Structure 1
Amino acid sequence: MVVSLILLLVGIFAGVSGSIVGLGGGFIVVPVLSLMFPEMIPAHIVGTSMAMLFFNSISSTVVYAKQKRIDYNAAVWFAVAAIPGSVIGAFASVHIAGKVFFTSFGIFLILVSLFLVFKPKKQIQLPLKPTVHRSFIDASGSKFEYAYNRTIGVSISFLVGFLSSLFGVGGGSLMVPTMALLLSFPPHIAIATSMFNIFLSAIVSGGTHWFLDNIDWMKVLFLSPGAIIGGQIGARLAKRLPAKTILRILSIVLIIVALRLIFQN
């Protein structure tokens, strides 16, 4: 009973924190499961986390859809690239490598987080010109205008899909900074679009982990209600936070994820 309650609370916390910054709650669930259930092998921890991410992402997506802050066109293109990567990542998780891979990815996330904190005021100017121009108004009447290069977004999405399914931490840790800093997405749009993208990828990734029998459904049974509740709360909180605050929160979250990976057992 106590364990079930803890899993429910973990799901709520993961849902809130993951939805605020568009990462999904896997970066909370994976280390907690590792600590609470040392007998679980990495593949089962990752598969269970991905199943939880499905419920977290669909809950958040419903709220962001009502806010009209999801760039569906971009999300679908990115998901088309991320889905093959997520399938490969799920199969690779069964043979997940050791500390070198975790440490390398962790160091990368720390570099990204530091860049978010000390990032230049202007967007990074890439040699490739924007290929897509977007302009729309959200439910509150705020207008968003931006342009991005679809080729870069699609290319990075494949890697994001692979890593998210491999580690079970959600692809937002790479996709949100990519959209905000390299593709010129407004932070609020980047987060909402990322959660919808996670939802699309989680369907395939979670299904693959299910096929591989990597999911502990009893744990998902208690994690998912919390993730659904947390996803609703987090998405609503994100709407009230300034863009700069969101990026600062994101940088802190990335450091937490990085430390989790670096000190992975």
Structure 2
Amino acid sequence: MEFIFLFVIALCSGAVGALVGLGGGVILVPATIFVGINLGYIQDMTPQKVVGLSVIMMIFTGLASTISYVKSKMVDFKSGFIFFAGSVPGTIIGAYINKGLDLPSFNLYFGLLLIVLATILLVRDRLKPVQWFVKHGTKRLYVDSAGKEFVYGYPIWFALMLTFFVGILSGLFGIGGGSMLVPAMLILFLFPPHVAIATSMFLVFLTALVNSASHIYFGHVQWIYTLPVIPAAYMGAKIGAELNKKLNSNTLVVVLRIILLIVGIRSILDGLL
């Protein structure tokens, strides 16, 4: 029965993660904690083992969605590698810190993080674009399928500092970093939403390799439970990436807000109660 639960959770996580650039961990982690720990349907689950399972899953959601986005030429590989360089040491530190968190603390901090991210996206349309980072950084140009041009960019030193911090949170909570980096890419660096999501999923794939190695080293991965999660996450990511190409940018941002708010509120309640 636990294999069925994990398959369904991973399928949904992969689809939603690829759709909005989250990597899927933001769905799999709270869902698995709720079903596996709170309801007791999955044996031997701890926050650390859930995070370990999540980072393994993100290798395959990141890979599947990146393959789809590459075909549509949406991935900014140069930015992805720069962000990866900053996030690597952070993910290792985050995985180490994760060892000391109990379940209530994990849920509370995880929920607060998601609420902050959802709030940022909620007020995004009312904020003036932050042009400083583009003006004082390396500029990039993207032309979408309709011929519309987007100029975006960032100072490399700031991108490295930001992704180091994102890496810590990614290693700590097992959520891939996309849910934290995509808002920054949209608001600060002025990435086109589709490019931000595609590049985020490429980064999710790269960082998940390092993140999973760290959690394997700390003994956080239950390999038996990866059997239903890996194929389900891969299939879900392919579905989500295809849906992304058919939805407009505003719809993607709305979906991201709703997901972060719902999951964040649920995690805070679990942590307090």
User: Which residue of the other structure, out of 197, 205, 208, is the alignment partner of 1:199?
Assistant: 205
TM-score (normalizing by structure 2):
0.88
Q: Deviations over 1:187-220 (max 9, x none)?
A: 1111011110111100001011112221111111
Q: Deviations over 1:116-168 (max 9, x none)?
A: 23322641244784311112446786654323232322211111111111111
Matched, 1:152 2:127: no
Which amino acid in the other structure matches residue 83 of structure 1? V
Q: Alignment identity in percent?
A: 37
User: What is the 5 A alignment of 1:1-265?
Assistant: 2-38=1-37, 39-96=44-101, 99=104, 102-104=107-109, 106-119=111-124, 120=126, 122-126=128-132, 129-137=135-143, 143-265=149-271
Alpha-carbon deviation of 1:65?
1.0
Check conservation: 1:19, 1:60, Cα contact below 8 A: yes
TM-score (normalizing by structure 1):
0.91
Q: How many residues align?
A: 264
Distance in 2, matches of 1:220 and 1:16, equals 17
Question: Which has the larger displacement, 30-39 or 96-105?
Answer: 96-105
Alpha-carbon deviation of 1:33?
2.0
C-alpha root-mean-square deviation of aligned residues, in Å? Answer: 2.2
Q: Which runs of 5+ in 1 are unaligned?
A: none
Which secondary structure state, in structure 2, belongs to the residue aligned with residue 263 of structure 1? Answer: helix
Which secondary structure state, in structure 2, belongs to the residue aligned with residue 96 of structure 1? Answer: coil
Check conservation: 2:110, 2:173, Cα contact below 8 A: no
Distance in 2, matches of 1:127 and 1:63, equals 29
Structure 1 residues 190 and 227, CA gap change in structure 2 (3 angstroms): same
Check conservation: 2:47, 2:103, Cα contact below 8 A: no
Which amino acid in the other structure matches residue 16 of structure 1? A
